[in-house]
Chain A
Amino acid sequence: MSKTILNLKDLTIKFGGVTALNSVNLELKEGEILALIGPNGAGKTTVFNLITGVYKPTSGNVFLGDLAIDGKKRHHITKLGIARTFQNIRLFGDMTTLENVITGTDVRNKVGLIGSMFGTPRSRREEKASIAKAYEILKFIGIDEYADRLAKNLPYGVQRRLEIARALGTEPKILLLDEPAAGFNPQEKVDLAAIIKKIRDAGYTILLIEHDMSLIMGISDRVVVLDFGQKIADDLPSVVQNDPQVIAAYLGVPADAS
């Protein structure tokens, strides 16, 4: 069994009176694709927001390896190796596709304002490497032909994929994908599944929020189900698929009624 690289321990968060997550435990193993599913409002995106430091948990912790990262600054968490995409696309619209990805790569660069101003050798070296890396990622994701286009003018599907590319630019260990196939047609979903698999095979660990069951069944190693902020299942896709509690959660009927 491979080791746990991300560990959510007893994670609870309340917004006013609403408990969005209630004592959720979740372990992400190195190199797996873990799907996080659940009905609308179950708290999936909230999990991402807690991992990436957008919210601080009311109680509980997020461990990256042995390091507790809850409470750390958001850009610092990214630097530690966690990158995400957004459910509602949030690209830098006035930048080109390539620039979006380069902006992601900058987190690994060391040069600051002064170095950039004087064009130090390091600054030039890093700029060159960033551009090369960004191109490589665009090719890897299959959207390099759009490199020079402004992000806001890209077709919807390309924007979704650029979200992934930009996140990869930060060289994460863990990639968090929030409904990357939302609004895709079946063919686009198949293509995306292939890309996600390819990313995993390249050595990344993936936590994936998705609604499309067939996509999930096809690529995930494990599935965690959230319902009303509670974890109600955590198992192999085939097992989860037949779990009465899960079926009930999706159909909106109590588990014991089935």
Chain B
Amino acid sequence: MINLRDKGAEFWERSNRPVRVLTVFAIMAVVAALPYAGNTFLQTPVAAFDAVLVYPMGMFILMALGLNVVVGKSGMLDLGYVAFFAVGAYTMAILGTRTGLNTWEIMPIGIAAAMFAGVLLAIPTLRLRGDYLAIVTLGFGEIVRVSALNTEAIGGALGIAGVPFPPGLGFEYQLLDQKYFYWTILVMILLVIWVIRRLTVRRPGRAWESIRQDEDAAELMGVSTYKYKIWAFVFGAAIGGGAGVFYASRSMVIAPDNFTLNTSILILACVVFGGMGNIWGVIVGATILGYLPDRFRFLSDARLLLFGLVLVVFMNLRPEGILPRKKREKAIVKKGSGASL
């Protein structure tokens, strides 16, 4: 099968700066114009296309990017990622309905709360590996959900309603026309990509990569594996939390049912399907897995079954995902810098 990832990377390397800038702008223009494509073949039958762009698609991409740092880059199987999304969402819902703070003011608080939850989970569990880690994180995700379910002060099973929209920034966020929500989440995604790319090509990225490939060897080469594993978790949690804040503020109502194990698994599927460890692959994976179920809703009940089937078949044909992780023989760094020696 053709390797799209390498084709893309080769194109990128062959191009000079103006071509690159143009490419980026062209892609951005197309992506940004998507809310206007609602009346085309892209239209989703039940939910409005612009709403689908925000959730699940945009949210999935954001969360998949965050989870990819933990699973794809660092090799830790986290089955409870939705917990951080929930912490962010509940922070937004509680503060948004009970204080005068608005979404943008709550955002850093929600992210901090999710990061704190990340530390809480990471410190006792990161000594575990593989399956054990997966099971404990799965438990953590469920604990968060069940706690919300059983805490009447935050609405119990009914959750919290009346979460305010974000205040407009020269425009108004609207329920029936969600393009502003979409553009906001686009900005969030770009920001996250930018940060992840920086981290990946620098020391933290190398530490994560080495941990994924051989944790003991990494430790013996001086990588503080424990510290970097915590960082991976906390960083992933921050993104999940940020997505959660925005999700609550857009959805107006949140309930424990929004944060089930299913979501964790779906996000994980996006990561694996798209290509573990490769942010572009993850984005493609989340886009497809976020979109298709809404597009083909007429399949109704068989939807998830069919969906699972496609995944199984696909993963057999292409186990490394759509855009696999780096395969090319090329360092992440510029060669020139060492030449003077």
Contacts and interface: CB of A to CB of B under 8 A. Distances in A.
Given A113-B231, A132-B337, A94 B218 contact: no
A86 B220 CA distance: 10
Contacts of B5: none
Contacts of B206: 95, 99, 102-103, 106
B217 A86 contact: yes
Interface string A101-116: 0111011010111001
Interface stretch (B21-29, B131-139, B177-185, B328-336): B328-336
Interface in B201-256: 202-204, 206-207, 209-210, 213-214, 216-225, 231, 235
A13 to B, nearest CB: 18
A136 B325 CA distance: 28
Contacts of B337: 128, 131-132, 135
A106 B337 CA distance: 17
A117 B199 contact: yes
B338 interface: yes
Contacts of A95: 206, 209-210, 213
Given A116-B198, A148-B330, A78 B217 contact: no
A94 B330 contact: no
Given A92-B213, A92-B214, A131-B337, A123 B222 contact: no
Contacts of B217: 86, 90-92
B202 A93 contact: no
Given A102-B206, A106-B203, A117-B199, A147 B331 contact: yes
A74 interface: yes
B195 interface: yes
A131 B195 contact: no
A223 to B, nearest CB: 25
Nearest to A49: B220
B169 interface: no
A14 interface: no
Contacts of A169: 221
B36 to A, nearest CB: 34
Contact of B222 (A75, A91, A135, A139): A75
The size bracket of the interface on B is 35 or more
The dominant DSSP class at the A interface is helix
Given A116-B199, A132-B337, A135-B338, A106 B223 contact: yes
A32 to B, nearest CB: 23
A179 to B, nearest CB: 16
Nearest to A86: B217
Given A107-B222, A113-B204, A135-B338, A94 B332 contact: no
Nearest to A52: B220
Interface in A133-150: 134-136, 139, 147-150
B318 interface: no
A79 interface: yes
B214 A131 contact: no
B331 A96 contact: yes
Nearest to B225: A75
Interface string A185-228: 00000000000000000000000000000000000000000000
A74 B214 CA distance: 14
A149 B328 CA distance: 8
A58 interface: no
B326 interface: yes
Contacts of A98: 331, 333
Nearest to A105: B222
Among A75, A126, A150, chain B packs the most CB atoms within 10 A around the CB of A75
A52 B218 CA distance: 13
Contacts of A127: 202-203, 333
A111 to B, nearest CB: 6
Nearest to B200: A116
A198 to B, nearest CB: 16
A122 B333 CA distance: 17
Contacts of A91: 214, 217
23 contacts: A74-B219, A75-B222, A78-B221, A83-B222, A86-B217, A92-B210, A92-B218, A95-B206, A98-B331, A99-B209, A106-B206, A106-B207, A106-B222, A112-B203, A113-B235, A117-B195, A117-B199, A131-B337, A131-B338, A132-B337, A135-B337, A139-B341, A153-B329
Among all A-B residue pairs, the 7 with the closest Cβ atoms: A107-B222, A135-B338, A78-B222, A116-B202, A90-B217, A96-B331, A92-B213
Interface of A: 52, 54, 73-75, 78-79, 83-84, 86, 90-96, 98-99, 102-104, 106-107, 109, 111-113, 116-117, 119, 123, 126-128, 131-132, 134-136, 139, 147-150, 153, 166-167, 169-170
